[in-house]
Structure 1
């Protein structure tokens, strides 16, 4: 009978374990997935830190670049404030929404009635701006809009509302719906002309209103071509004109005791010599609640000076710039660099924020895409993919065999996914 030998058994068992270990360990370490590379964002991200627009501290103000959907700079109060005759632009837009008019066309005719004439008498007596009318005169839609926009005629605001909607109350209901449709949630109108302090809005939304005004061909045409006379050769003073020598084109300029001085305008500043940008910097701005015209003028001139400094372009994302440093457990290093350059008007980059997103990877060839960088401004997001500036290769058999913990740990983690 064979005898059981403990020593021999243990030797065979140890040999079997060794063979099994080698059979599992070697393939696991040599063929298993490598641990992921780690990334460290660059200490100093290569984006411009341009100065922003200079806005006053009085009342409320805001600036929006042409083509943008939101202001990129806001000064002073963020609460809705009385907006004086800017409310007349809401009237003009709502009327044109209900009664479209082709550029250059005269439109339908309104015969001045008793209520229209009484408005003229009442507003004139109270010292409010008016354009004279007489009973039974015939005013075309275009002429009424010219008196409203250029002459800031309070009586014509009411007349347009009656003509288009049958009455002021009906107009106010239509205006409320129109403002909601445009997403101008902070703007509310309590009358047609802004004499009521309850016709108010935030500077942010009023700058967006300026964009809608500029997009309406009839209003843009009226502002660009002030008439010399209206009905019966009646003169009309262009109340919107303001600091034209500085590149300012007024849209609305007015004053009430409750609203203070209010100005809504567009402006254009040429790109500086040597800039990659050839088009002028165009934008809209609003000032609500300025205490007086001297303060307003100083604030507007300071804004225009800052616009001249910000009319050029600066890089938001630089091609080839490093946005992250890549390292691996086996000592390989590389940089994640941007592929696509992105630039922005210098004026609009002062509030830029940056976000770097990297993929999970272990190795990669030169130029391999490993993530992206996004620079966000209020005017939108600007993005570039990131690529490796040098290859990250497999560390080889020796490192794998002598570093079982990270390799096998990665393998086990992958099997659990």
Structure 2
């Protein structure tokens, strides 16, 4: 009643038109919806279908779970089987426990190779094993002897080092057994230092654990990461690991005793988005070296591609509409493109917060959308897309009730 009387009074005094054309406008209303996001496709880790494998990934626990840095993925039978020349990694670890080197540059004690050591060259030659020259009386640092054992996989050096360190192969065997027991490697047995004996066996999971111990040893990790080396005595040597430096592979050891026994213990560093992943893997029972190498590259590629930037929004995506009482309207939209880094099919949640804005000028920020995937969060402002056209004079003159409501 008071409002009607006021209008009549204004009309009567001739002030209605001036009042209606200048009265404050009622606030527009904002309607909005939470944007939806499709769950990305699940990653498929390309574990080999032939033989057996195990893979551990460190550096991504927040995405993969804490178990990933232990034993993350396995395939095939996890029973002990031949590890062939990967045995030489165990030999190096056992020897270095007795004769530790300070760092990767420490040459360590000097070994003088005897006539008996020299004779190992012919003994392993007739067995078809990989060998390296070892002239009688050769003096060599422990570091260089280990490098000759590991880089070209010289079996005569493996036995010579084991006999130097423990007096005999049987002495080495006892030390290796104690070392394996101390590290809980119950699926592994080592009866000699080269891996030529098929009784040198391990499981994929044990090999991964051995690989981590070797990677933590600066001497071994440096040697297995060396592609070639030349040392007086053995001469020029090439690493048997043809994948060294390929797709992030940083080292470790190959081995085989013929078809169906090809094995590979490997380490790799994958830089994926914001993450730096350390991968340790083991494959056993492979058909050929080529097939095992291909399997390793597929594993690494599938891990790498499982981490991805998921596009969740694009600048201009409509979130809602601002509508004025006089019929004018405009959209509220996202201010920027948004991608969120995540693993596999990690669910992506969406949250919207809106301000209590009463005015909606073009470009005004009226809210924010936040996306969360695992530990990662991304946000984008919600802005007014365009200016709302003002009401006409006719609307103002014919809607005193709306103006009075304001």
So what's the TM-score if we normalise by structure 1? 0.60
Distance 1:74 1:105, change over 3 A: same
TM-aligned CA distance change 1:264 to 1:160, over 3 Å:
same
CA distance in 2, matches of 1:232, 1:297: 31
Match of 2:57 in 1: 65
Question: Which deviates more, 289-298 or 102-111?
Answer: 289-298
Q: Give the 3 Å change call, closer, same or farther, for CA 202–348 of structure 1 in structure 2.
A: farther
Does residue 55 of structure 2 align to residue 54 of structure 1?
no
Residue 281 in 1 paired to residue 277 in 2?
Answer: yes
- List aligned pairs for 1:293-312, cutoff 5 A: 293-311=289-307
Partner residue of 1:101?
101
Q: Deviations over 1:91-141 (max 9, x none)?
A: 000000011112211111111112211111111222210111111111210
CA distance in 2, matches of 1:169, 1:81: 22
Residues in 1 aligned to 2:289 and 2:47: alpha-carbon distance in whole angstroms: 15
Give the Cα–Cα distance (whole angstroms) in 2 for the partners of residues 236 and 251 of structure 1.
16
Partner of 2:157: 156
Distance 2:152 2:344 in 1: 33
* Larger CA Rg, structure 1 vs 2: 2
Match of 1:89 in 2: 89
Name the CA shift for 1:196/1:258 in 2 (closer, same or farther; >3 Å). Answer: farther
Once residues 301 and 112 of structure 2 are traced to their aligned partners in structure 1, the CA distance between those partners, rounded to angstroms, is: 47
Aligned residues: 273
Deviations 1:245-267 (A, max 9, x none): 32223311122127621111112
Confirm or deny: 8 A CA contact 2:256 2:263 kept in the other structure: yes
Structure 2 gaps of 5+ residues are 1-38, 60-67, 311-340, 348-374, 376-406
Q: Is the counterpart of residue 214 in structure 1 residue 215 in structure 2? A: yes
- Measured on the aligned residues, the alpha-carbon RMSD in Å equals 2.8
| Superposed counterparts of 1:221-232, under 5 Å | 221-226=222-227, 228-232=229-233
Q: Are 1:194 and 2:195 counterparts?
A: yes
Q: State the match for 1:74 in structure 2.
A: 74
> Match for residue 16 of structure 2?
none
Secondary structure at the residue paired with 1:194? coil
Q: 1:232 to 1:345 in 2, by over 3 A?
A: farther
| Matched residue, 2:125 | 124
Secondary structure of the 1:256 match is coil
The answer for unaligned runs of 5 or more in structure 1 is 1-46, 273-277, 315-343, 351-381, 383-417
Aligned-pair CA distance for 1:53: 2.1
Partner secondary structure for residue 235 of structure 1: strand
Structure 1 pair 106–125 and aligned structure 2 pair: CA distance change class (3 A): same
Q: Aligned partners of 1:196, 1:349: CA distance in 2, in Å? A: 46
Moved more, 292-301 or 81-90: 292-301
Q: Which residue number in structure 2 is paired with residue 35 of structure 1?
A: none
